[in-house]
Amino acid sequence: MTAHKNKVDVRAFRSALGTFATGITVVTACTADGRRVGLTVNSFNSVSLEPPLVVWSLARSLPFAADFENCEYYAINVLAEDQQDLSQHFASRLEDKFSGLGFSEGLGGAPLLEGCCARFECRNTVRHPGGDHVVFISEVERFERSERAPLIYHGGAYRRLA
Ligand SMILES: Cc1cc2nc3c(=O)[nH]c(=O)nc-3n(C[C@H](O)[C@H](O)[C@H](O)COP(=O)(O)O)c2cc1C
């Protein structure tokens, strides 16, 4: 095992973090002036059952970061194993990420994507500074799940459950 101390080597740090396997989500919101925003996120995790709280973090450098900070609700769409293209789509710089996609509107107009494993509709309650990210902790007001298998992310690559 290689030890890394003091000033962090960002590439080595990212690589070490990549050993932690996660699912993939797309977090979506609708702004007060009716624009839909969304991005691929794997920093999602559970926090509390009672009350039902979840956490994710957002890079402050993203052009739409303020839209998420200011929205009342957002939706966390957990991607299924056949939605790798959707993950790439929402990780790309596109003018309108929702054009031609199948979705319905959830609380606050946040887009609920079709074909997901689970969808959590969250009130945008608590935000903490977290270095170059903002950490969002939110209360889940509604959720639903399907029996679809999840998309997995590990070591910088998409994977499926064996
Ligand atoms: C697998 C994966 C996971 C990601 N997780 C996060 C995350 O947790 N937080 C974040 O701010 N960006 C994350 N990103 C990057 C954003 O999705 C990406 O920077 C954003 O969609 C770019 O949007 P823009 O090009 O419209 O500015 C992730 C990207 C990928 C491919």
pLDDT one-digit tens code per residue, 22-50? 999 999 999 999 999 999 999 999 999 99
- Is the distance from CB of 135 to CB of 128 less than 8 angstroms? yes
pLDDT band at 5 (very low <50, low <70, confident <90, very high): low
Q: Residue 43 CA: which ligand 1 atom is closest?
A: 8
Distance from residue 127's CA to the centre of ligand 1 (Å): 18
Dihedral, 131, 132, 138, 144 alpha carbons, nearest 10: -130
Collapse the DSSP code of 114 into the 3-class scheme (helix H, G, I; strand E, B; otherwise coil) and give the result: coil
Note the maximum CA span of the chain. Answer: 51
What structural domains and CATH numbers belong to the chain? Answer: 23-155 (2.30.110.10)
Distance from residue 58's CA to the centre of ligand 1 (Å): 8
Distance from residue 97's CA to the centre of ligand 1 (Å): 13
Segment among 7-16, 62-71, 78-87, 143-152 with least mean pLDDT: 7-16
pLDDT computed for residue 135 by the predictor: 98
pLDDT computed for residue 157 by the predictor: 97
